[in-house]
Amino acid sequence: MGGNETLDVRLYETGHSWNHIPQPTPAVFVDAWDKDHVKMPCSPRSLYVENKVSVRRWDVIQRVLSQKIDSATAFQIAVNTYNNRYARTWNVDCLSAALRQRPDFVPLLQKIADLALKAPDLVTQPVPLLRQNKERSLSLSQLQIACLLANAFYSTFPRRNATGVNSEYSDFPTINFSSLFCGTGYTDESNVEKIICLLHYFSRVFDKDGPPSGTVTFTRRCLHSPPDFSVSEVLVGSIPFGVSSSCLIEDTQGTALHVDFANRLLGGGVLHSGCVQEEIML
């Protein structure tokens, strides 16, 4: 788990004032189609076969998301247009149920589509992958994150629908939201509530006061000499445990031992059915 490489990447220009939206950098979209970056929906190297002709997938996405999307049915037709391979297996039952509960969120479908189409202007370089064994920080503006999530909402990210163990991104969490929208008849209620939560997030992005102007940094840390628990002879029962109603785990001092039970993927299975807690710290 060790590594000496440390890299900080910012997708926006520094020096902006707190109440102004950071400007993306570089000024014009620069593509990278490799194993170290997220393959972007707007990449000219993302191709799609339409009417037996290979075309730029982003051109198809632009065409269909520019049309009126005012219902779950219209949403499904749009998404299936550039994900035709999955048209017979994907459905939007959970999205339909969420919009029945919150009809006031229906207008967000078009706004989210419009935001997704701004990807070449807002996220002007591919997002680096925070791979294992490399310490790296990635900083984005809140508006850039919203744009990426808008594309995830419409399942525009290429090479991310395959989920097999040998698929290109098998070691990374799911990006596209298609799995969240599908009704399975099992724990659909939790998915409906997740979708309502997401739609509420987008309602805040499109608030009358304007889009958010903050920034977010994600950092991956590595243990250079991790303990090998497989050969440890220390018995769990020999470790003293204490309970406090006033002290946070993060604030403990001295020789306190933290144990973190977490899903191997950031976010766990949040884009699938159920609502099992991703991380538990003791």
Residues annotated as catalytic are 260, 278-279
Strands (E), the chain: 6-10, 47-50, 53-56, 135-141, 215-220, 260-262, 279-281
256 neighbors 244 (Cβ within 8 angstroms): no
Q: What is the DSSP string of 4-59?
A: --EEEEESB-S---TTSPPPBSSSS-----STTBPPPTT-TT-EEEETTEEEEHHH
Q: What is the DSSP letter of 121?
A: H
